[in-house]
Structure 1
Amino acid sequence: MYNASCSVLQTVIKEGKCAQRGEENKAYDDMTSFESVFVLHIMIQILGITNDLCQALQRKSQDILNAMHLVSNTKILIQKLRDDGWENLLQQLLLFCNNHDIEVPNMEIHYIYGRGRFRQPKDRVTNLHYFRYDVFIAVIDSQLHELDFRFNDEMIELLSLSSSLDPKRKFQNFTADDIYKLVSKFYPHPQLDSLKSISDLCRWLAETEKGEIYYLIDRLVRLVLTLPVSTATAERAFSAMKLIKTALRNHMEDDYLTDSLIVYVEKGISKEFDIDSIIDEFASKKIADHC
């Protein structure tokens, strides 16, 4: 890619118009300078480390825990590049410059800022100090600072705890302890501190009309409260129906047994029925059928 870009610039310099030649000649000089090549090599190193993290964060289907692990690993690898990557980078850079006939400055002399007639010494530092500390270390520190700013320890903990609410694989990562810690640390609510039971929570949702906003939570709470009662009622009803398990019961149809069970369970409603009116209703239907 580098050779192709240089070849295109050289072609434009030779065959292009005068206005283009000046601009392309400057672009070619910048591209073939040691500083530009040095910056490109730093970019290759850093982008190679952060590529996996960038790809993970851009996916439509996010895996929060995996992304947080990649953030931590990326920080470690960038820090390792800062501490131990200079010598390897310098060797690769010198080899590249030798292969492409790029002039390598003497690292022991003072760094000169700019090119041409306006060259000025920069703070009396050597080329080695400038390229290693003012460029290499400074760029890496900037990347680490950006990662720490966007993904600090508190943010990573928040996202990691939130992964318990991820519906993937039927809430495989769900743990009650993580939910409790998530709510108590990141979403404290003074009014909820006084609630001692699920019944209190259900009452609070109704009084504050929060149940209309968080209707799924309200429905879940009501289901949790009614399920034990409904289960016990159903068990008592089925136990009572065993009393009519006779020879006649064995020849009953399922619909008849179901109707009998409904009448037994809904005793309050069935007591209001008038037996005589029911008999008259069926008698009138029988007469109508014969007519």
Structure 2
Amino acid sequence: MREKGLEVLLTGVTKFCRTTEIDVLDMEDECVVRGRGRRKIEKIKNLHHYRVELFCSIIDMQAQELNHRFNEVNTDLLLCMTCFDPRDSFYAFDSEKLLRLAKYYPSEFFEVTLYELESQLDNFIFYVRTDERFSKVSGIAGLSQNMVSTRKHENFPLVYLLIKLSLLLPVATASVERAFSTMKLVKTSLRNRMRDQLLNDCLVPYIEKDVFVNVTNGAIMQRFQKMKSRR
């Protein structure tokens, strides 16, 4: 992004400006920043201003935010979780990474259990690669559903437990944080006496905006009227 990102961005912006008849700024001209006197600042070109002071600064800010959100442990968890990806006959499967994933849950996998899990992983990958019922599975969620439908979760209980923990991992991070952030917006100091049921009823539509945006006001009114007879 630092080396070639700005050129690609400028090409798209220039094309847009010419299409909409907007004047295109010459990157080789002297940069004039509003609110700053020309005598007090070093003379620089527009290209330097937009590349260093804006483009690279935004990249650094985004990289810092990503590093803060996905630290070393979180990144390792996500990389280990992808080893259950069933695409291309479980091409990404790696028993060592999955064992490392299990070690992040010491309350679920004891030291003795890890040896049993290693054995189950070897048998599990051999079975799913030879069984046609797992050849068209899509995603880790589909893998867990297929294991239950074929009752293989009973033959590989530790593997199935690790898959369930992998499915809970994304929910236990981003979704929960968004829910707590939303709770601060809904339950304010003026609504501090709101009970759990009303709070839940307010949070669900607010969090699941993509679902409730398709619900019309007429459908809500009909549902409310059918709950019980009213005057």
Shorter-chain TM range is 0.3 to 0.5
Structure with the bigger percentage of helix: 1
TM-score of the superposed pair, with normalisation by structure 2 = 0.35
The structure with more radius of gyration:
1
TM-score normalized with structure 1 length: 0.29
